[in-house]
Chain A
Amino acid sequence: MATNTQIPVADRRVPVIAPGYTFSTIGEKISNIVLSRPVSLGWIFGFLIVFSMMNLLMMALGYLFIKGTGIWGINIPIGWGFAIVNFVWWIGIGHAGTLISAILCLLRQTWRNSINRFAEAMTLFAVACAGIFPLAHTGRPWLAYWLFPYPNTMNYWPNFRSPLVWDVFAVSTYFTISLVFWFVGLIPDFASLRDRAESTLVQRIYGLLAMGWRGSARHWHRYETAYLLLAGLATPLVLSVHTVVSFDFAVGIVPGWHTTIFPPYFVAGAIYSGFAMVLCLAIPIRAIYGLQDFITMRHLENAAKVMLATGLIVAYGYGMEAFMGWYSGSQFDSFLLWNRFHGPYRLSYMALLACNILIPQVLWLKRFRVSTGWLWLISFVVLVGMWLERFIIVVVSLSRDFLTSSWGMYYPTKWDWMTFAGTIGMFLTAMWLFVRILPMISIFELRTLLPESQVHEAEEVKQ
């Protein structure tokens, strides 16, 4: 028996999994949420709220399809408006899931094992919400397939020199690979649920999804290789997605967009908002479902530290934008800087600086990192701040470009707000269902964190 494995004395941090768990109690605790926990009134009530919010999206999109994008506040010069603001915001949120599941996997950060599953789910739902916006923004979404290269009677092909076409490929690849990664991670857990399910119907459903997984050593060996390779492929992918999104801006010559700092600054901002969303979801979920033993304070603290670090990169990005406004000597760039502080959207810019740079600095203090209430509040503030950042980038630059004759203002309509609130509803509806239908923590990966899962060559001789 390997029970005499000792945890090194030097490791005095909070453990990634509370002591006293065995292989079967881990599985029991996680799968019971799906298999046997009764549906509570609170869940139903919450579901009704988020589902109603999702229906706002359905109404807004329905009316949009009838009337066209004229119902939105977009105009010339601000042709992008909320659609692109929300697209960039949502897709950024998705990035934390892939960072946790792929990059932290490659870096052997085992603490990720208890948060990767629902972070990946968050990625999928966020990217699904993101995808709605450019699709609706095309004006004729039923013709969106024109963006893909396929032989057609019009004898037309897409222009591969356009960042908008790159975006189609980047986002659709990102969604597909995230889905595959998530599903591959779920297969062994589907098998666990299949073997624990009481009713035949539930057993059949999970059995179908598990595809006959039986935990053979050969299978595990190939599985681990495939999983590691997927992590290795998803790592450059996640960095590329927001890079490509930033190209949508950086390739244009609009002041404030045409800069080389955009790709890294966008990626850092994406991870920043993504971790904020992870914390915003993890803190209530672990409290409601009693998962404090698996999602410990160490996880929350680590996420807070990642937020702090990426927040500083974002702050550096703002600093560089301001510096280049002055150093470039270009009157348009320096006007952009002046306009951000003194123009019609100055309040949004001030709020952005407060939300993204000023307030999150309290995370330097451990007191705030270990308080779930404060952490939740700060994460929420960061989410608002990152949304404002995209608003500033899209709207301020477009509203004041080179010629004063082409200046304009942007006022979102109620349809804009309904669509945005609706995607939040859709995201939360998917999350609501996810926590009750699928194991929200990876059972088999959590089991590998127990010392009993490690085989030691030395002890083998003793036996």
Chain B
Amino acid sequence: MSEFSGNGPIPDSPISDSPIYGLMAEFDSAQELVSAAHKAHEAGYQKIDAYSPFPIEGLAEAIGFHKNRVPLVVLIGGLVGGISAYALQYWIAAITYPVNIGGRPFHSWPSFMIVTFEMTILFAGLSAAIGMLALNGLPMPYHPVFNVPEFAKASENKFFLIVFSNDPKYDAARTRSFLNSLAPRMIAEVPS
């Protein structure tokens, strides 16, 4: 039944024997976070993440994130929208419901360009938004990082680095002392 305890905080001691999700370090500036992320990545940690109140240039690269598939999703969305819009218009105007309008050919492609264009934009735009959310795993109402009270400042003025406990190099004591060497404001254990 322990999986169903996500509705609220567990009343007993915060760091009891519940499994650890990771170790989190808090920093004061974007600059410190980026250099800390670089150092953690260089030290061989792979399963790490960084949190900031606004996008920071180079931070994703610093934690070793390069595979961004949003552009591909948008391209596919746009192609699907454009091709299906044109195909639908062709099928309607030339095959299933041919009407002579001003003597124009049934397959009057210049007139079909507008709707094709609009549907390309519509599908690509919706793919960009939905694709971004889906790849980010959102909506996600519960996430362990929110268990750290200081994390509320992650949307304001504080910067966080986390090493996940499933990292092959993760070791409660050694990872803590490594994070300590980065001179953070504080280190917290994140219960899962």
* Interface of A toward B, CB cutoff 8 Å: 1-2, 22-24, 27, 149, 155-161, 165-166, 169-170, 173, 176-177, 180-181, 183-184, 188, 191-192, 194-196, 207-208, 211-226, 229-230, 233-234, 236-237, 240, 244, 247, 444-445, 447-448, 452-457, 459-460, 463
Chain A contacts of B50 at CB under 8 A? Answer: 216-217
Determine if B14 is an interface residue (Cβ-Cβ < 8 Å): no
Chain B contacts of A222 at CB under 8 A? Answer: 68, 70, 132, 135-136
Chain A contacts of B32 at CB under 8 A? Answer: 463
Partner of B30 from the list A2, A184, A225 (CB cut-off 8 Å) is A2
B125 and A192 form a contact (CB under 8 A): no
In the complex, chain B residues 19-49 whose Cβ is within 8 Å of any chain A Cβ: 28-32, 34-35, 37-38, 49
Known A229-B74, A229-B128: A149·B34 in contact at CB below 8 Å: no
Chain A contacts of B51 at CB under 8 A? Answer: 214-217
B132 and A225 form a contact (CB under 8 A): yes
Partner of B92 from the list A149, A207, A214, A217 (CB cut-off 8 Å) is A149
B117 and A218 form a contact (CB under 8 A): no
A233 and B156 form a contact (CB under 8 A): no
* Interface of B toward A, CB cutoff 8 Å: 28-32, 34-35, 37-38, 49-60, 62-63, 65, 68, 70-71, 74, 78, 88-89, 92-93, 96-97, 99, 101-102, 104, 108, 111-112, 114-115, 117-119, 121-122, 124-126, 128-129, 131-133, 135-136, 138-143, 145-146, 151-157
**Complex: how many Å from CA A261 to CA B60?**
47
A217 and B52 form a contact (CB under 8 A): yes
A453 and B56 form a contact (CB under 8 A): yes
Partner of B93 from the list A160, A215, A230, A456 (CB cut-off 8 Å) is A160
Known A2-B31, A149-B88, A180-B126: A217·B135 in contact at CB below 8 Å: no
Partner of B56 from the list A195, A229, A455 (CB cut-off 8 Å) is A455
B70 and A173 form a contact (CB under 8 A): no
Known A184-B132, A225-B132: A236·B121 in contact at CB below 8 Å: yes
Partner of A173 from the list B119, B153, B155 (CB cut-off 8 Å) is B119
Query: Shortest CB–CB separation between residue B42 and chain A, in angstroms?
Result: 12
Known A177-B125, A216-B51, A218-B65: A223·B38 in contact at CB below 8 Å: no
Known A23-B53, A217-B60, A460-B38: A233·B145 in contact at CB below 8 Å: no
A157 and B97 form a contact (CB under 8 A): yes
Partner of B37 from the list A211, A217, A226, A447 (CB cut-off 8 Å) is A217
**Complex: how many Å from CA A454 to CA B60?**
14
Query: Shortest CB–CB separation between residue A234 and chain B, in angstroms?
Result: 7
B139 and A212 form a contact (CB under 8 A): yes
Known A160-B89, A173-B118, A219-B136: A447·B53 in contact at CB below 8 Å: yes
Partner of A218 from the list B49, B53, B93 (CB cut-off 8 Å) is B49
B117 and A192 form a contact (CB under 8 A): no
Considering the complex of A and B, which 5 residue pairs feature the smallest CB-CB distances, nearest first?
A211-B139, A226-B132, A221-B60, A212-B140, A23-B157
**Complex: how many Å from CA A188 to CA B51?**
12
Known A217-B56, A220-B52, A223-B55: A229·B68 in contact at CB below 8 Å: no
**Complex: how many Å from CA A219 to CA B104?**
50
Chain B contacts of A459 at CB under 8 A? Answer: 31
Query: Shortest CB–CB separation between residue A196 and chain B, in angstroms?
Result: 7
A1 and B29 form a contact (CB under 8 A): yes
Given contacts A157-B97, A226-B128, A454-B30, 16 further A-B contacts (CB under 8 A): A1-B28, A2-B29, A155-B97, A160-B89, A161-B93, A169-B119, A170-B118, A176-B125, A184-B128, A207-B141, A229-B70, A448-B54, A455-B34, A457-B58, A463-B31, A463-B32
Chain A contacts of B68 at CB under 8 A? Answer: 221-222, 225
Chain B contacts of A183 at CB under 8 A? Answer: 129
Query: Shortest CB–CB separation between residue B105 and chain A, in angstroms?
Result: 10
Query: Shortest CB–CB separation between residue B49 and chain A, in angstroms?
Result: 5
Q: List 5 A-B contacts (CB under 8 A).
A: A156-B97, A213-B138, A229-B74, A240-B114, A453-B30
B135: nearest chain-A partner, CB-CB = A222
Known A188-B155, A195-B152, A460-B35: A161·B104 in contact at CB below 8 Å: yes
B131 and A226 form a contact (CB under 8 A): yes
Partner of B35 from the list A195, A207, A463 (CB cut-off 8 Å) is A463
Query: Shortest CB–CB separation between residue B72 and chain A, in angstroms?
Result: 10
